[in-house]
């Protein structure tokens, strides 16, 4: 089996909470809120699940130490799906039916989430909602499943549109796509295609890879396919291991001068680490990277939420429980993914607070809809409503400078097509 299913009843409830009589109201008792999570903690994309979890945990830990929400600490019940759809479905069924969690939170990936959404519809009488999945795909934003999920981050459509618009603006109209052969890749591919059509252009070439591809894999065939299309930029819709392997082979095979753009899901720090580790000439492989992000730079300490995030990450140094760590992974002190997890948790706590003294699943949707112009601390206000199930719209662009991702200020200066 590709994935290892690991169960962890991860109690964030600190031991200083007194044990009270557990009166169960469906995932929420007098003792605690239980949030259910299925995410990648093993496999080539484990860095995403781990970083997202660490960021969220930093905020939950802070809230729990301060007394929880309405006196109830927040506990996450976590399963590992290895970024594979079938385990994600099994885990979600267990979370909803057996564990009876209050809500689903912090899922990772389009192919997994896409397969879980029908479950939410199937069990809609339980008022189960999915909060803030780490994916920008359309299925959880649109009918028929949009009513069962709430998103915080911008969509892949917004990320790809921004990349295409900026490339076209600097004279790079011939755009190729390298993508994961699944729902995630198709979602990004569709976004690029739609954005290009607005400029009267089409995708000039496309190549795919299988989900789960490792950095050690060879991408020569994919590079050859795209080289033959003579692109002026390539937009990659994949995970960090595969996209780093593609960038490595693209540079080695002479796809020179062609910017390689990646979406936020890629996990920028992990990608950079793979391309840089043990190399003296890392700039060769990273100079042409441009990664879109759905949260601002964690280096920008002028942003209040970034200061708070850095403070909590340093103060609590959240670690993935040993039971979930089946493969070696060294977490980053800060990352875009963990910052996103942090913001997810911050908004989640605000929603739980708005449920009042008698929280129930039935009141969740209305509680979310009361979020109007909520200042989450990054300069962009968050709003939800019956027709608005995505909180943030902002997309940020980053490039590698001196071994780290920094905000891209001038597309023309960096990527102008002088050919």
Partner 1 sequence: MSDDPVVPDIKVKKLFRKTVFGVFMLFGAIGLSTSILNVYTVDTHLSEEYISNSKGIAKTIADASVDILLNRDLAALQSLIDQFLEIQGIRYIYIANESGDFIAHTFVPGIPEEILVGDALSTETVERSLPGLGDFVEVGSPILAGVAGTVRVGMDRGLIALKIQRAIGQQMWLFVVVGAIGVVAAIWLVNLAAKPMARLMAYAVSLAKDDEPENPELLERDDEIGHLARLFRHFANQRSPGDR
Binding site for partner 1 (CB under 8 A): 85, 110-111, 114-115, 137-139, 142-144, 181-187, 189-190, 206-210, 221-222, 225
Question: Which of residues 209 and 312 has its CB atom nearest to partner 1 in the complex?
Answer: 209
**If you ran DSSP here, which 8-state letter would residue 322 be given?**
G
State in angstroms the smallest separation of the CB of 236 from partner 1.
13
Distance CA 266, CA 243 (A): 8
Q: Measured from the CB atom, is 2 or 314 closer to partner 1?
A: 2
Residue 49, classed as helix, strand or coil, is helix
Taking the complex as a whole, the smallest distance from the CB of residue 300 to partner 1 amounts, in Å, to: 31
Nearer to partner 1, 223 or 352 (CB): 223
d(CA 39, CA 88): 7
The SS3 of residue 222 is helix
Residues 120, 83: Cα–Cα separation, whole Å: 19
List 396's β-bridge partners, or say none.
293
Q: Which residues is 10 bridged to in the sheet?
A: 76
Nearer to partner 1 by Cβ, of 10 and 190: the residue is 190
Of 95 and 183, nearer to partner 1 (C-beta) is 183
- Structure token pair of residue 249: 């082979």
Least distance between partner 1 and beta carbon 139 (Å): 5
Q: Which residues does residue 292 pair with via DSSP β-bridges, in sequence order?
A: 397
Of the candidates 109, 106, 93, 102, the residue with the CA atom closest to the CA atom of residue 53: 106
Helix residue spans in 287-382 (DSSP H):
304-316, 336-353, 364-369
For the chain, what is the radius of gyration of the CA atoms?
Answer: 21
Phi-psi region of 401 (alpha: psi -120 to 50; beta: other; left: phi over 0): beta
Nearer to partner 1, 140 or 276 (CB): 140
Shortest distance (Å) from residue 238 CB to partner 1: 12
Which of 46, 115 has the CB closer to partner 1?
115
| CB distance 133 to 182 below 8 Å | no
- Rounded to 5°, angle at Cα 334 from 55 and 325: 60
- Residues 6 or more apart whose Cβ sits within 8 Å of residue 183: 110, 111, 114, 137, 139
Q: Kindly tell me which of 77 and 186 has the beta carbon lying closer to partner 1.
A: 186
CA-to-CA distance for 406 and 296, rounded, in angstroms? Answer: 10
Nearer to partner 1, 7 or 181 (CB): 181
Minimum distance, C-beta of residue 180 to partner 1, in the bound complex (Å):
10
Q: How far is the CB of 249 from partner 1 (least distance, A)?
A: 12
Residues 57 and 80: their CA atoms lie apart, in Å, by: 16
Place of tokens 């949009």: 146
Nearer to partner 1, 175 or 382 (CB): 175
First-to-last C-alpha distance (Å) of the chain: 48
> Minimum distance between the CB of residue 181 and partner 1, rounded to whole angstroms?
5
Nearer to partner 1, 223 or 305 (CB): 223
Shortest distance, position 194 Cβ to partner 1, whole Å: 9
8 Å CB contact between 240 and 214 = no
Q: How far is the CB of 36 from partner 1 (least distance, A)?
A: 21
CA angle, residues 186, 4, 76, in degrees to nearest 5? 85
Minimum CB separation of residue 241 from partner 1 in Å reads: 15
Minimal distance in Å, beta carbon 176 to partner 1? 11
Sheet holding 175-180, edge to edge: 205-209, 175-180, 233-237, 260-262, 289-293, 396-401, 404-407
Secondary structure element (H or E) that encloses residue 291, with its range: strand 289-293
């Amino acid at each position: 089996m590709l994935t290892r299913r690991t169960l962890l009843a991860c109690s964030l409830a600190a031991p200083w909470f007194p044990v009270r009589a557990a009166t169960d109201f469906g995932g929420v008792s007098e003792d605690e809120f239980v949030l259910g999570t299925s995410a990648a903690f093993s496999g080539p994309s484990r860095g995403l699940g781990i970083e997202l979890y660490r960021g969220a945990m930093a905020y939950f830990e802070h809230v729990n130490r301060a007394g929880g929400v309405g006196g109830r600490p927040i506990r996450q019940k976590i399963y590992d799906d290895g970024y594979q759809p079938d385990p994600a479905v099994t885990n979600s069924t267990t979370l909803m039916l057996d564990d009876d969690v209050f809500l689903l939170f912090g899922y990772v990936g389009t192919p997994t989430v896409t397969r879980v959404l029908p479950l939410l519809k199937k069990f809609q009488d339980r008022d189960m909602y999915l909060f803030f999945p780490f994916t920008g795909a359309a299925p959880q934003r649109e009918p028929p499943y949009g009513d069962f999920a709430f998103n915080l981050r911008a969509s892949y459509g917004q990320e790809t549109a921004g990349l295409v618009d900026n490339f076209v603006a600097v004279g790079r109209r011939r755009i190729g796509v390298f993508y994961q052969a699944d729902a995630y890749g198709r979602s990004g591919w569709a976004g690029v295609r739609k954005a290009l059509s607005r400029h009267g252009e089409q995708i000039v070439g496309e190549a795919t890879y299988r989900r789960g591809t490792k950095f050690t894999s060879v991408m020569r065939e994919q590079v050859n396919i795209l080289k033959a299309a003579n692109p002026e930029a390539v937009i990659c819709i994949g995970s960090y291991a595969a996209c780093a392997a593609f960038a490595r082979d693209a540079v080695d095979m002479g796809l020179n001068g062609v910017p390689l753009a990646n979406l936020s899901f890629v996990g920028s720090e992990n990608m950079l680490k793979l391309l840089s580790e043990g190399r003296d000439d890392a700039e060769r492989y990273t100079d042409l990277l441009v990664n879109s992000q759905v949260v601002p730079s964690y280096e920008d300490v002028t942003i209040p939420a970034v200061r708070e995030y850095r403070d909590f990450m340093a103060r609590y140094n959240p670690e993935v429980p040993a039971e979930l760590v089946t493969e070696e992974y060294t977490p980053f002190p800060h990352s875009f993914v963990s910052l996103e997890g942090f913001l997810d948790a911050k908004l989640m706590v605000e929603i739980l607070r708005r449920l009042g003294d008698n929280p129930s699943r039935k009141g969740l949707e209305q509680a979310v809809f009361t979020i109007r112009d909520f200042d989450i601390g990054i300069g962009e206000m968050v709003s939800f409503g019956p027709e608005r199930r995505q909180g943030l719209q902002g997309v940020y662009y980053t490039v590698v400078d001196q071994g780290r991702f920094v905000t891209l200020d001038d597309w023309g200066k960096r990527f102008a097509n002088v050919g």
